[in-house]
Amino acid sequence: MTSPLTDVPKSAQERWSPRLWGTLLVLCAAMFLDALDVSMVGVALPSIAADLDLSTATLQWIVSGYILGYGGLLLLGGRAADLLGRRRVFLIALAVFAVASLFGGLVDSGPLLIASRFVKGLSAAFTAPAGLSIITTTFKEGPQRNRALSIYTTCAATGFSMGLVLSGLLTELSWRWTMLLPAPVALIALVFALRLIPHSARDDSSGGYDLPGAVTGTAAMLLLVFTVVEAPEAGWASARTLLSFLAAAALLVAFVLIERRSPSPLVRLGVLRSGSQVRAQLGAAAFFGSYVAFQFIVTQYMQSLLGWSALQTALAFLPAGVLVALSSTKIGGIVDRFGTPRVIATGFTLLVVGYALFLRISLVPRYAAVILPSMLLIGAACALVFPSLNIQATNGVDDREQGMVSGLLNTSIQVGGAFFLAVTTAVITAGDAHGGGASPQQVLDGFRPGLAVVAVIALAGLLITLPGLRRPRGAAVGSVVVARSSDTDAAAFEPVASDAPTAGPAAGTSPAKAVLRD
């Protein structure tokens, strides 16, 4: 594709034009909405249950429906952006998101509300990888892309944090406002996107669409996410859960076999031969999984044990969100100087310490001594880790495969969030801490093992990152596979990027392919 930065003098490339800033802000708005929608519904669930007379099982699916659509279709969404054109996919999905938001705020039925949430998750599964790949193909690899990605991913983290605050405020009026708020914002973003987002190239020489891979890959992800979400209620060792995991594994095996033979795979498996790419994917799962589980425990602790209101609970998370927002324009420069492995490792270290400090909680609220230090450490960790993981995953990847890699990364994030939240929930409920006769101290004691698991997940993320520190900062370590064979998915690959700071585009070029404008 032709980037807005192409054929521009180097001195001019250092300054972003108003149009380029506008493009980035539109993409940030969409990512902010995706993250906002994940977290904002949580505080509103009690009001929704009372208004629509929903059972606990039905209420769970208001959250899980979004996760199922989002996590299950990300691989398909990422590849669709590459094949159909990123601009087209982004605009259509954003319009669907706006309509589904409006519909969700007007319905008077639990099943219809769940359906609207699933459709919103589905649309986010297309906007997220399309938006990320638009950034990585518009901004030149190196300091410019790192800066853009740091702003973009920080908006996502801010949206997730601010969702709690906004939900606490809006729920005081009506839970419907938490559903309706994204609709006008999405429509405004759509209007600007039509004018600002550049037309992108689409691949017209891939030999057709990988329909068998799309079917098996999507079915595998949907079943895997569904099984993980349902496992705590059905039982991890139940026949239903085990058979579901077995079926998901069988679909994944079929998917891999299909991708190895497909001339135009949904996911080119050769990209996973890179240690840096694998570390980014696993790190993303550990990072988001630990934070989602932590947030779940903390909201329960603050509301059920401390007796805080939804708004008070939301405000307790505010320092972390503010810290993330204020650091948005700084992280790119830090990555340029130190490289992604060092920044990610530092962030995971802060994350582990922050979670460990929260183990000191008691039945008496100690905000200044316990809660605030943890939130500040976690906020700093989010600011460092999330942008760096996105940079590491997308550096060195050919433009035609940016959507695929973006889909992989977002899939890792969503599956990691669903899986580790389910595991943490199972640990908390294993001791029947929420039984009818449990004392407040027993409930608190039930939370502690869950917090310990959260810290261990973050520690695992740190350990996954450490191998990337072994090489010199300036050495090329083969972080990403960019070359591809014309007849097999992994017959040829060339390590050209690194975990180290990047000063410009990766060396080497990929074979030219025919492209069309969308």
Between CA 437 and CA 458 the distance in angstroms is 33
Beta carbons of 509 and 141 less than 8 angstroms apart: no
Q: What is the mean pLDDT of the chain?
A: 79
Report the length, in residues, of the chain: 518
Phi then psi for residue 57, to 5 deg, are -60, -45
Q: Are 498 and 276 in contact (CB under 8 A)?
A: yes
| Distance (Å, whole) CA 80 – CA 20 | 24
pLDDT digits (tens, 9 = 90+) for 49-88: 888 888 766 776 787 788 778 877 887 888 788 788 889 9
Helix (H/G/I), strand (E/B), else coil: 201: strand
198-221 pLDDT, tens digit each: 876 555 545 556 778 878 888 888
**DSSP three-state, residue 6:** coil
Name the CA dihedral angle for 292, 296, 298, 301, rounded to a multiple of 10 degrees. -170
CB atoms within 10 A of CB 430: 12
Q: How far is the C-alpha of 3 from the C-alpha of 461, rounded, in Å?
A: 34
For residue 431, the model assigns a pLDDT of 59
Q: Where are the beta strands (DSSP E) in 443-494?
A: none
Per-residue pLDDT of the chain (518 residues; tens, 9 = 90+): 444 444 444 444 467 888 889 999 999 998 888 888 877 887 777 788 888 888 766 776 787 788 778 877 887 888 788 788 889 999 999 999 999 999 999 998 889 999 999 999 899 889 988 888 898 888 888 888 888 888 887 787 777 777 777 877 887 788 899 889 899 999 999 999 998 888 765 555 455 567 788 788 888 888 887 888 778 778 888 999 999 999 999 999 998 898 888 877 777 777 788 888 899 999 999 998 999 889 888 888 887 788 887 778 878 888 888 888 787 667 888 888 899 999 999 999 999 999 999 999 988 888 889 999 999 999 999 889 988 998 898 887 777 777 778 888 888 888 888 788 888 888 887 755 445 567 888 888 888 999 999 999 999 999 999 998 876 444 443 333 333 433 333 333 333 344 444 433 333 333 333 333 34
Distance CA 228, CA 231 (A): 5
Q: Give Dmax over CA atoms of the chain in angstroms.
A: 71
At residue 200, the pLDDT reads: 66
Instruction: Look at residue 357 in the predicted model and tell me its pLDDT.
Output: 94
- The answer to whether the beta carbons of residues 161 and 292 sit under 8 Å apart is no
The single-letter DSSP state of residue 364 is: S
3-state secondary structure of 518: coil
- The confidence score (pLDDT) of residue 298 equals 87
pLDDT of residue 202: 58
Structure tokens at 302: 């603050």
pLDDT, residue 471, reads 60
Secondary structure of residue 275 in the 3-state scheme: helix
Q: What is the pLDDT of residue 303?
A: 78
Check residue 478 and give its pLDDT. 38
pLDDT at 133: 85
Q: Round to the nearest angstrom and report the end-to-end CA distance of the chain.
A: 11
Q: pTM for this one?
A: 0.75
* R_g (Cα) of the chain, nearest Å: 22
Q: Do the beta carbons of residue 68 and residue 222 sit within 8 Å? A: yes
